[in-house]
Amino acid sequence: MKNITESSSEYEHLDEMSVSALLEGMNEEDRKVYEAIQKTLPEIEKLVKAIVPRIKEGGRVFYIGAGTSGRLGVLDASELPPTFGVSDGIFIGLIAGGDIALRKAVENAEDDTKQAWKTLQDYEINEKDVVIGIAASGTTPYVIGGVKTARDNGLLTACITCNPNSPLGKAVDIPIEAVVGSEFVTGSTRLKSGTAQKMILNMISTVTMIQLGKVSGNKMVHMQLTNQKLVERGSRMLMDELDISYNEAKKLLRQHGSVSAALNSKR
């Protein structure tokens, strides 16, 4: 395996470049992310098509990762309940070292090959569930150990990595390998690799939610109305969909508690 994510940056003297040149360089590097993801769309599609029926049967999706990769998984999973009105137990993000590692690095946590599976067992994981390992390098022991054991126990496994033919990619059923090249700052995989991982997670979770009927037209009709901004957004949705006034929309929203329920009451 060639560890591309650790290869030297194409920019040799960052410390001598102007702010303008640094920003231009980073922006130019980020363009490569979109091209890399384009090549992975068939694998992403395969994964989404496998996830949807499992969730319909009561299954869940677990993201496991360490460091930036783990944080991105937790972030994506935590956004789904307010956005789509689903239970917080459908997509679950796990990070090496536990929740404290979201803010502060936990020493040696990513080197523990058994911890991910131990944590997954706390959720009474079963064959309806899907485990997605996230690791830019594709070599993180915590992630590899978790997906290997999950696969050995009959679960569907996938990964998101930025190195081709990595140990992680070889350990799963559906490897998604977004090869974005060397990082702007050598080895700093929170940059292009992290961006690619976040974009792929967006695709997986969003398209899954759409396929599960959580979007009507192009609107988040199942979103949780947890603040004034979202109440206003919901009111505008009802105004557009039902051709009613702002006051009528807001009254309807208060009566039914959600955009979807309000729409159903008028159909």
Could you tell me which CATH number the domain at 14-213 has? 3.40.50.10490
Contacts of 68 (CB under 8 A, 6+ apart): 136, 189, 190, 193, 194, 197
- From 28, 29, 45, 79, active-site residue: 79
- From 29, 43, 110, 241, active-site residue: 110
Residue 245 near residue 239, CB atoms below 8 Å: yes
Structure tokens at 133: 């390992």
Structure tokens at 12: 């040799």
- List, for residues 142-155, the tens digit of each pLDDT value: 999 999 999 999 99
Active site residue 124: no
User: Helices 67-84 and 192-211 sit at what angle, rounded to 10 degrees?
Assistant: 30
- List, for residues 105-123, the tens digit of each pLDDT value: 888 899 999 999 999 999 9
What is d(CA 263, CA 232) in angstroms, rounded to the nearest whole number? 16
- List, for residues 154-212, the tens digit of each pLDDT value: 999 999 999 999 999 999 999 999 999 999 999 999 999 999 999 999 999 999 999 99
Range in 22-31, 67-76, 220-229 with the lowest mean pLDDT: 220-229
pLDDT of residue 64: 99
pLDDT for 1 beyond 80: no
- Report percent pLDDT > 90 for the chain: 90
Mean pLDDT of 23-45: 97
pLDDT of residue 16: 97
Residue of higher predicted confidence among 126 and 2: 126
- List, for residues 54-107, the tens digit of each pLDDT value: 999 999 999 999 999 999 999 999 999 999 999 999 999 999 999 999 999 888
pLDDT of residue 201: 99
Q: In what order do the strands lie in the sheet with 130-134?
A: 91-95, 61-65, 130-134, 156-161, 174-177
pLDDT of residue 66: 97
Active site residue 35: no
Residue 260 near residue 120, CB atoms below 8 Å: no
Mean pLDDT of 231-257: 91
Residue 82: name the closest of 73, 91, 69, 95 by CA: 91
Confidence of residue 267 (pLDDT cuts 50, 70, 90): confident
pLDDT of residue 59: 98
pLDDT of residue 80: 97
Helix (H, G, I), strand (E, B) or coil at 90: coil
pLDDT of residue 107: 83
* Reported pTM: 0.94
Residue spans per domain, the chain:
14-213, 216-265
